[in-house]
Structure formats: C-alpha cells, structure tokens
Amino acid sequence: MSSRKAKGDAGEAAWQRKREADGWLCFPLSPAFEGVDLLSIGPDGEIELAEVKAWSRPLTPAVRLEVMDRLNYLRSVLPEWARRRLTVVLVHAAKVEDGEYRCEETWRFP
C-alpha cells in the first residue's frame, strides 16, 4: 500500500470514528465509489456524503472546487425526498503531533 493511500485511509477512518462517536452509522464507499469516501446516516435519519482529504498542506481552491462540484452533482441526481435529508461535506484530515488525525470540515452544503 502506498503512503498516500495509507494516509487517505487513516483520514477517512478518523472521520468515521468521529461520526460514530456522535451516534451515526457509517459506510465506507472508497475506493469502490469514486468521489465519495463515506456515507453516514445520522440518529435522526439525516444522510451525509463525505469526501475526506488527508493532506498535510491546506486544500487548494482548485481541489475544493472540484470536490464541491462533484458532491453537488451527486446530490442533484437524487430524488427530491432524498435531497431534503442529504448533506454533502468536504473534510480535511491532518495528522497532528500525537500521530492521530484531526478532522475539520472545510465545506458543507446545505
């Protein structure tokens, strides 16, 4: 496994742990589903599609725009009843001094 893939997996796992700690059910989609890493269902039935970028540097505007466009497209092809409950989110996961990954939402819609 490449170091890039290992970092990505660790970042996705950190976001999954955070969501599960908040009572969400999480289903990893990556790498089988291109462009979305995690599908999460909240305690109140809300649905979240998350793309997690585990980068040590800030996300560039071009990357942010690419992810936002892809997630908004995926959201737009769903039926209205699903869009009412669906949130899409871009998460930046960065390794901190203790070796763990800290996750921060970079963008969320709606």
Residue 97 confidence (pLDDT): 81
Q: What is the mean pLDDT of residues 54-81?
A: 93
Q: What is the value of pTM for the model shown?
A: 0.87
The tens digit of pLDDT for each residue in 29-53 reads 988 888 899 999 999 999 999 999 9
Pairing assessment for the beta strands 47-53 and 38-41 based on DSSP bridges:
antiparallel
Residue 52 confidence (pLDDT): 95
Residue with tokens 């001094």: 97
Kindly compute the dihedral angle of the four CA atoms of residues 74, 8, 45, 86, in this order, to the nearest 10 degrees.
-20
Domain annotation for the chain: domains and CATH numbers:
3-109 (3.40.1350.10)
Pairing assessment for the beta strands 86-95 and 25-28 based on DSSP bridges:
unpaired
The tens digit of pLDDT for each residue in 8-28 reads 788 999 999 999 999 999 999
